[in-house]
Amino acid sequence: MKSEKPEKKKEDKGLFSGVMVAYLVLLLHVLLLVLVAVAVVFFRGVVEYMPWILGGGFALILLSGYLFFRKFRKNAEKLREVLSDPVFRDRAVEVKLFGGVASLRLGQPVASGNPAEPILLDRVPVMQLEDPEAQRLRRLDQLVRLLDQGLISPEEFGRLKNELLADPTMPIINP
């Protein structure tokens, strides 16, 4: 008789957990149906009021554009005064709005005093620092060329090479 009681408790637990799982599945189905009904009602309302939603959004965009234009015209004289400052002369000024999302370029840089001629980027020299390692290799290449041309002896080449490798800032004179 003792062996029958533990089996009955296991059987009762299994039956209880099975019923609870069935109730949980039923509850989740009911919840799913409620969510689908809410979504249908919501989207039906959105579709019915879509013209009003789009019209209101368009009206807000027009209103903000009008307010921006009005403020810009109000401060146009101050802007002209700032742009006529000698610091900004012959330079383009770029105003970035909304964190760089929109930008406005005012003025155009002038190349040779002629405002009708725009600056071409290939005419403007680009100033760039040389990498120290590339500088060292270039100087070493100069030493090899001097040796090949017979302008320095192999002893001088060895001495200058060792100095160059010890001090990369040492200048090498071009022949």
Domains in the chain: how many in total? 1
Does 56 map to a domain? no
Task: Confirm whether 148 is domain-assigned.
Answer: yes
Query: In sequence order, which residues have a C-beta less than 8 Å from that of residue 83 and are 6 or more positions away?
Result: 93, 106, 107
In a domain, 157, yes or no: yes
Instruction: Tell me if 160 is assigned to some domain.
Output: yes
Residues of the domain holding 139: 132-166
Entry pTM: 0.32
d(CA 10, CA 4): 10
Average pLDDT, consecutive stretches of 10 residues, N- to C-terminus, the chain (175 residues): 54 72 88 89 80 88 87 80 73 71 66 51 59 83 92 92 76 51
